[in-house]
Amino acid sequence: MIKIEFMKMNGAGNDFVMIDGRSLPDTGLSKDIIHRICDRRRGAGADGLIIIKPSDRADFEMEYYNADGGPGSLCGNGARAAIKFAKMKNYFEGKSTRFVVNGVYYKGEYIDENLMQFFAGNPGKTKLDFRIKAAAQLINSHFADTGSPHAVIEIKDILQNPKDPRSGFTDISEIPVYELGKEIRFSKDFAPGGLNVNFIQIKDEGIFVRTYERGVEDETLACGTGSIASAIVANLKYKLPSPVTIFTRGGDTLKVEFEKKDGIPADIRLSGPAEINYTGTFEINNNLKSEKE
């Protein structure tokens, strides 16, 4: 039997099991074990699992796994949680840090106890105004690769009645995020990897965002890379200036800042809360058990 200490954290409601890789056996954790840890009924319950471990060329390396146990792409809120966790585990001194995710180097800033900033760099491919077939209609959509692939859809472009062109949604709380997000995420047009799906409503005070996340296969309370993608689309399509305030499903706010280079948002920074939920210990054998503290 192996005992592993963990910390449960959340970034704007996006929750993670955090593990210091120095405490893990050489074999690491299997996909099945990670899935069981993230199970909300049989484990600690989380949107994902993050392992931080020493790096020869940076302060630390961050490994992110989706709730289904498979390796994930970049996670913005997870990166902010990792910055706080790494600071607590003495992986770096001072306020600034440099770390590796999937072979890419990023920077972070420990602003204060509950506010972390993640320097996400520059976006990959972006595309505005293309159609996705879903919900018995063609929905105007946008795409941004922010380390993870994201579709961004304005709620007014989704018809409640496909036969009535005036029936676009006006309240983001009424969007069927799970049903519609799942249909788009698994659309053959985005096979085999799929993508995350963000539904947005732009108001004077900022952007309200709800996200269906692949790997979790459900709506999450916040999505960091989805927030960045939403801010990029709003800037490119409507010239929404930096900084952009993002209002999440969980009730927290995130801030996306950027510069403009060749007309595209660049040097992107994501700031927001990173909180500790609790600490505990896993016992790993044939049956996974966990104890909270």
Q: Which residues are designated catalytic?
A: 75, 223
260: β partners: 265
Question: What Rg do the C-alpha atoms of the chain give, in angstroms?
Answer: 19
Which of 49, 58, 113 has its CA nearest to residue 87?
113
What secondary structure does DSSP assign to 199-240, as a single string?
A: EEEEETTEEEEEEEETTTTEEES--HHHHHHHHHHHHHHH-P
Do 242 and 258 meet the contact criterion of CB atoms below 8 Å apart?
yes
Q: Is the N-terminal amide bond of 243 cis, ω within 30° of 0?
A: yes
Q: Is the N-terminal amide bond of 192 cis, ω within 30° of 0?
A: yes
Q: Are strands 115-121 and 244-247 parallel, antiparallel or unpaired?
A: unpaired
CA distance 170 to 155: 7
CA distance 10 to 82: 10
CA distance 117 to 119: 7
182, containing H or E segment: helix 177-185
